[in-house]
Structure 1
Amino acid sequence: MPYRLRSVGLLAKACIRLSQYSCPRQKTIQQRQQSSTSPSAALKGRLQSNAENGMVSAFQKCRRTGTGVENITPDFHSLHDLPMIYASNNAGLTMNTGHNWLQLENNLDENEIQKRKYEPNTVSLQRWVWDLWCRTLWTFFDYTVTNRRQYINAASTLQTYWNVWTLLRREKVGLSIPGLIKDKMTGVRDQLTAKHGLRTERKQKPILRSEDVFQLMKVLWTTGSETWDPVQLALIVLLAGMTGHRPDALLHVRHADVAVTLFPTGRERPHMVLEVKPNRTKRYRGRKKQNPTLGIPEVPSEPCLLLCPKTLLLALLLRKSAFLHLHIVSAEKLYALQVPPDAGSLSLCPGEPEALLFDISARTLNAWLKRLGELAGFDLPITSYWLRRGAGEALNSSCEISEAQQNLLLQHASGSVYQDRYAPDYFPKDFSAVWRGRQQQSDIIRIASGQGRSINLRRPIDLNEAQEAEADSRPDVQRCKAQWQHAKQKVQMMYGTVSKGKGTPLFEDAMKKRNTYHTARQAARRVMKEAIREKFNKEQPVADIIRQVHGLPLESGDRRDAGPVPPEQYRAFSMLFRFAPTTEREETECRAAAVDAVAKVGPSRRHRLRIIHSQAAVPEWVTAALQGKRNIHLARRQCLFCLALGIREEPFSRDSSFERHIRRVHDARTWCPDPTCRGMLIGHVDVANHMRYVHGA
């Protein structure tokens, strides 16, 4: 009621004031009448003052007594009586302005009256800015999205392009984008998103829990046909899941960032704690957030060592001979250490503090994880951030860890970062049980919200020959192939062979064409593979249901051959997968044996050969077949390097196969791996002659 009274009172005052300023002609009449001494002018002033004061006093009375507006009874009946009162005293003064104010109010354009008034020069400047910047930017980004449509699928990617462009402009020119252009470009990006049909919803945010990691570990250690290093890959997966660090921080962990500390327990063997503190964590303009040291203790009587990162770390360090400065070459000596009586702990720090613990890149890690997920039967391609999101979900669900500790470990400014970027798509709790007041079924909800639900070992993994041929026959692939063959023929016509033209512009252009062709072919095969897997996801459940409805047995897909597992890898898997002994002494012996077994597992064949021919000396992780042996005598057509690295022990069947292998693989400047020989070998001819005449191959 007070707000209503105030509004009506202001309206009355506005009508009274409006009668004073009706039009220029009325102002002239009022000035003439005020200059005269007729009593009508004085009467008009008194009536106006009395009417105004009477209306205001009436409203004040209503405000004090709480009376409604409809009960107001001033000296005149309504506001419409004011013009008649004025007209009765002065026939020349009228309140009629010749305007229909209600109609004007209904036709009022709010945007027009709220629009700021600019000078004509400012308006022309805005139009010039639009013509110079916004139209050009629209055309530029429209051209970019059109030509790179296969790489730009989301509106967030377009936003990233804009952010990088503005950053480069500020860096190269020293000028920032004006605020007016930034505001207009928001609408431009929205229009481009709608025009090209870019995705506006966020991507799925899958997570990997401990049970999913366990499935991956089993597939990892039982597969022998892949090119990954099982020790490094398994350790990175476990550290990413148990620490929650970003993959870039883990891949740049140095020897100085890890340590194994022994603490006294009053028992026969001290307790070992793995301590990790990555140094290369996320920074903002050179400033790094606080990064705590994370300790991972060993689990007493652990039923299985597949999820024990300490075992893998000690094995990797022993394989790299990182404890030689401590005269430790086996796990037996590690587990025989004791904490001094007068000390509270004993730390084992690896040698070469600045050396990297892992020798793989982020791109290689993601490729290994994607391949491992496909072999394990997962639907979506696994990335390293699945493990970080899984760690964040475990932190957020734990009642033992506060939100401040969660933000400290994940290096987040607040809990909202986790909610926006790391929270899983599937709600991980049984809310229906909360609503019904029943006990939660946590196990089934954990299964339903995990990635294990997508496992299907029948899902296609690789393309067959017909599918590869179909992918290679695509027009874009054939066009790139024709360009590569044409460039190759030009080099051959000029220099005879492609290798003789090395270092020339024609050779460089041909290599670029070749890389473009291989990239297009791999992209076409990848697209076909994704289409086949998507088709399987849609059709296979329907086929399974129909077969069960009609009483038919379910089809079992052809399991992919995992390839022959190297003997040292199979023994390491057996030691990691065995049940823990009951006594403490047997458990210690089991852990030491597992560390020694894993330490003898070398990288893949390609990785080992690439490392040995890229370094000046033979690596320290050669297999046990070479360790302790001197004056190695080879069988006929047996490769010394493959025997030393545990890659191939059986000899080649023909001399041509043996020579071709040496020419393709061992054509490098290297050293003989025999400790008694250590001769310098230059090229495949020298390597072949050395194997034949010195070692009997």
Structure 2
Amino acid sequence: MLEEFFWFCLRLTTGKNGRKLPGIGKLSTLGQDWKSFLRYFKGATKVPLDTELGLKMNKRLRKLAKEFGLDDQEQEKTPIFIEDLVPLQETTLHTQEKRFWLGLQRIQQCLYNVMACFTVNRINAMRMLQYKHLQYSLQQDLHGGPPRILLEITYSFAKKYMGVMNTFLIPEILFDPSLILSPHTFLLSILFRNDAFKALNLKSMEDLRQLFLEGGRQQLPLPLKREKADYYVFCRVEAKRGKVTVNTKLPITPSTLSSQMKDFGEIAGFLWSMFTHRFRYGGGAIMNTSGLVSNAQQNLIMKHASMRMFLNHYFPRCIGTDMQALMRGLEPDSEMMRAVMCMGHWLDPRQPQDLTDQQKVSVEQELELIEPQKDSEQLDKLEQLKKAVTNTHKHLLYALRIHIC
């Protein structure tokens, strides 16, 4: 019965209201659907699926994958390192090829990028971040410098592995050479904009810099207003009937964050598509090779049950070890190896981002687009065919642009 169900799913081409489905093209996607089914089965019956039946289904799913010709190759896992984040941030701040209703939206996107890089969290864990999950304070500088800002972030919507929530400590870097990589720059601007600090005289960075620690204290807490505890850091900005509204009680949607990151990556000139998990690929690789983070700490940070999860799904398949130098007893060129592994290796701002008029016209001659138009005389299917033609046209334009790039 289960095999027939997945056989049926693999053959599905249209969904509700005749909407075309993306289909299952990879073995990993079929495996994810199987895991989702197991979770649903356990939730509905309160009993996990029989182990022997599960093993048999794994074999049958592999047979189905061969029968339907599913791709069994892994998705490329090119990581994003800090050197890739710089051009992405600069593009997000400066470009006019993508515009927003408010400057707040650019600031939110920049903050999201640096938070994804420094905390390697998933998209939903970050977009659901609220003011009640933040704690700011001034800390005594142990090196004799001025007081330093400390940000404590507790991600309550991350996976509850081991029943705990991670709290990340992000101290200010004094005399930071690049403020576009500082989360304090963007987050404090959002908090000051919303008048979020409880202290009445704390309205700007100038006010914050005038605070000092006295009486031998190590820290000075900077609490936020309780009435704004439910405000979202990445709030939703909407435009209705020409009026732009900022809804701090609703989080930004995952699709908005993902599409914005993808668009800015294309504008910056990155060959591969930008998405949040690339920060997890890069962060995981750095922690794994740094020698400063134990396996237990890495699992806790990334919310993994074991290192097997990291090796199977996150560790880049491109070997970053300079094997030639290693075998010849030479000094490995670590900088070179890291440079050719990261996203910036394929950075080319000159690559085309739009199709020419001639290229757009060439798509009109594709049989995939012409055939549905021939049947458009059937009035009962007119609306459905119009939608199919429009979607096909967009698909062909996108495919041509990807081919050219």
Give matches, 1:95-110, under 5 Å: none
Q: State the secondary structure of the residue aligned to 1:216.
A: helix
| Paired amino acid for 1:261 | S
**How far off its partner does 1:137 sit?**
4.2
- Is 1:200 the counterpart of 2:72 in the alignment? yes
- Is 1:239 the counterpart of 2:111 in the alignment? no
Residue equivalent to 2:352 = 460
Residue equivalent to 2:168 = 294
Q: Is the 8 A contact 2:271 2:347 kept in 1?
A: yes
Structure 2 CA distance for partners of 1:427 and 1:336, relative to 1, 3 Å = same
| Deviations 1:158-208, CA, capped at 9 Å, x for gaps | 233344445556666889766676555444333332232211121111100
| Deviations 1:380-431, CA, capped at 9 Å, x for gaps | 1011111111111111121222222222211222222222211112222323
| Deviations 1:607-647, CA, capped at 9 Å, x for gaps | xxxxxxxxxxxxxxxxxxxxxxxxxxxxxxxxxxxxxxxxx
More strand by share: 2
| Paired amino acid for 1:343 | R
Structure 2 CA distance for partners of 1:149 and 1:180, relative to 1, 3 Å = farther
List alignment gaps of at least 5 residues for structure 2.
236-251
Q: State the secondary structure of the residue aligned to 1:302.
A: coil
**How far off its partner does 1:322 sit?**
2.0
Residue equivalent to 1:218 = 90
Q: Is the 8 A contact 1:155 1:198 kept in 2?
A: yes
Structure 2 CA distance for partners of 1:481 and 1:270, relative to 1, 3 Å = farther
Give matches, 1:217-616, under 5 Å: 217-227=89-99, 229-265=105-141, 269-283=146-160, 289-323=163-197, 326-341=200-215, 343-351=217-225, 352-359=228-235, 360-471=252-363, 474=366, 477=369, 479=372, 518-533=390-405
- Give me the CA root mean square deviation: 3.3
| Paired amino acid for 2:185 | T
- Distance in 2 between the 1:205 and 1:484 partners? 47
Q: State the secondary structure of the residue aligned to 1:326.
A: coil
Q: Which deviates the most, 316-325 or 162-171?
A: 162-171
Structure 2 CA distance for partners of 1:152 and 1:290, relative to 1, 3 Å = same
List alignment gaps of at least 5 residues for structure 1.
1-132, 490-509, 534-697
- Distance in 1 between the 2:396 and 2:381 partners? 22
Give matches, 1:53-202, under 5 Å: 133=1, 136-137=4-5, 140-141=8-9, 143-144=11-12, 151-165=23-37, 168=40, 182-202=54-74
For CA contacts below 8 A with separation 6 or more, give which structure has more relative contact order: 2
Q: State the secondary structure of the residue aligned to 1:273.
A: strand
Q: Is the 8 A contact 2:281 2:314 kept in 1?
A: yes
Q: State the secondary structure of the residue aligned to 2:151.
A: strand
Residue equivalent to 1:81 = none
**How far off its partner does 1:519 sit?**
3.9
Q: State the secondary structure of the residue aligned to 1:233.
A: helix
Residue equivalent to 1:592 = none
- Distance in 2 between the 1:347 and 1:230 partners? 29
TM-score scaled by length of structure 1: 0.49
**How far off its partner does 1:230 sit?**
1.8
Aligned pair count reads: 377
| Paired amino acid for 1:248 | N
Q: Is the 8 A contact 2:201 2:207 kept in 1?
A: no
Q: Which deviates the most, 324-333 or 446-455?
A: 324-333
- Distance in 2 between the 1:391 and 1:197 partners? 34
Larger radius of gyration: 1
- Distance in 1 between the 2:154 and 2:377 partners? 48
| Paired amino acid for 2:65 | T
**How far off its partner does 1:464 sit?**
2.4
- Distance in 1 between the 2:2 and 2:295 partners? 44
| Deviations 1:279-325, CA, capped at 9 Å, x for gaps | 111147xxx64233221222222222121111111112122332376
- Distance in 2 between the 1:531 and 1:253 partners? 38
- Distance in 2 between the 1:518 and 1:301 partners? 53
Structure 2 CA distance for partners of 1:444 and 1:355, relative to 1, 3 Å = same
More helix by share: 1
- Distance in 1 between the 2:98 and 2:296 partners? 42
Q: State the secondary structure of the residue aligned to 1:394.
A: helix
- Distance in 2 between the 1:326 and 1:342 partners? 24
Structure 2 CA distance for partners of 1:322 and 1:176, relative to 1, 3 Å = closer
| Paired amino acid for 1:282 | K
**How far off its partner does 1:255 sit?**
0.6
**How far off its partner does 1:238 sit?**
0.7
- Distance in 2 between the 1:405 and 1:175 partners? 32
